[in-house]
Chain A
Amino acid sequence: MSAVTAARPSAGRWTALGAGGTVALAFVVVLAAAVAVPWLLAPVSPLAVSPADGFAPPSPAHPFGADESGRDVLVRIVHGARSSVGIGLAATALGAGLGLVIGFASGLGPRWLDSALGRVIEVLFALPTLVLALLLVAVLGSGTGPSVLAIGLATAPGYARILRSRVRTVARGDYVAYARLEGVGRARVLLRHIVPNTLWPLVATATLGIGQAVVWVAALSFLGLGQEPPSPEWGAMLGAGRVYISTAWWMTVFPGLAIVSTATALTVLGRRLSGATA
């Protein structure tokens, strides 16, 4: 080849955020606040009933309107972040954690283990995620714990797949081979090269994954299999408000917007991260 490989401009780790990424990051920060300290952002109880305000449309008193029992929708959304995002976070931690273990075992272990795990992962992946989650819910029941378990276990095959592929690529890569050639011990190669090159991309993927998990958690509640009313979880709010959609649209639209915005922000952030850490 005649061409000299062109030098790329120096790419710092965090400079790739861009306009979209910054907005997404800001949103996620607000979200994190809502999860951690909702009472600071909305010092009213999300369960406080106020029949006089039943079905109040959006107004200065109730920016997002009120539901059938007069509870302020915005307040409920802020407090609901803890359920929606919290469960999504927990489920992602479970799924990614399991995926990590399986991925490493598969990518670094003996070949028979890799083959066996690979087959199992493919099989589990043969079921669409929500279907698998519903199956698990049928076993475990509904509620917070089962939701975390169901979504976590249902997404674990996906993470395992990604991690297995990544670990194998890195472990078979040239820089690992070179280090081994230099006589560097296996443990040191693992810590020095394999783990950092696998873990950081996982952070990016998991960020994306939290967004998707939030959607699935809400889906479970919507189907009546997750959180039940009067929980301010966003999916449950959507499920409850569906009946009144023609008369009180704000009960459905705003919780849904919360879900969409969260998922979008996390996806954008996850992509920027993967661009910076890949």
Chain B
Amino acid sequence: MRISSSSMYDVGIQAIQNQQAELVKAQQQLATGRRVITASDDPVAAARVLDISQSLATNEQYIANGDTAKSSLENEDSALSAITNIIQDVRTLAVAAGNGSLNASNLSKIGIEVRQKYQELLGVANHSDANGRNIFSGYLGSVKPFTQASGAGVYAGDQGKIAVQIGTGRQIEINDTGADIFKPGVAAKDVFQTISDLADALQGVTPFTSATATTAISQLDGELNNVLQFQAGVGAKLKEIDAVQSTASEYSLNYKSTISNLQDVDVASAISELTKRQYGLQAAQQSYIKVTGLSLFNYLQ
């Protein structure tokens, strides 16, 4: 076949350009570490990467939400432990006061201690977290839930339960309300009332009998039980969050590895491709020089 001289140049240049394009692509893949650099490189993979990235981002957010929830629940757990201790202390005092061997002055001393515990309980009930949210006031995070100085609890919060999304379709409540824990105003269940009544009796405001101590002890046992139930609930939730987070971390790993499989370059094959293209380009360049150097004019003197 007849070949025109300009075709020889064109074909040579074309070959070099093709090799260069492939070389640059291999180089770009290695430099970015990605096989799919734009969607057109693999449209199906690119769209899936976007979808899975969202799943990954959402999942990571759930893990972060889990941390937030844990922090709130741990905070509540400490407060509940403190409440448990206070109730147990008061119960110990009530037992001591009820053994019948103490005179009025001694009872009054215990009374002072019990009243102290009342203030301590009030403090814990008004506990707020690092962000200033009162943990026992429900939705009314900026409102101090209990402000009374003595007597029954007067609850200023509401019964709002704050939920946090810790997984797809799983929301977990991160608070319990002062209404549920302290039962303010509910006869025989209000911790404040019980402690206040005991202090009043010990200090002689109301008559103190052995029945006073017995009633106080029995009520405190009920109230302690109530608090312990909430504490158990908090423990269960913390455990669940750990489990959910650990599953979520596995999901994250899976998502990351899927994304990587979809869009990342196989380094070994990319390097081999790069080397191949490098040789290809060299061959194209050398053959171009050789072929275009041939001319009959070289021999015409």
A and B: real partners?
A: no
Residues of A within 8 A of B (CB): none
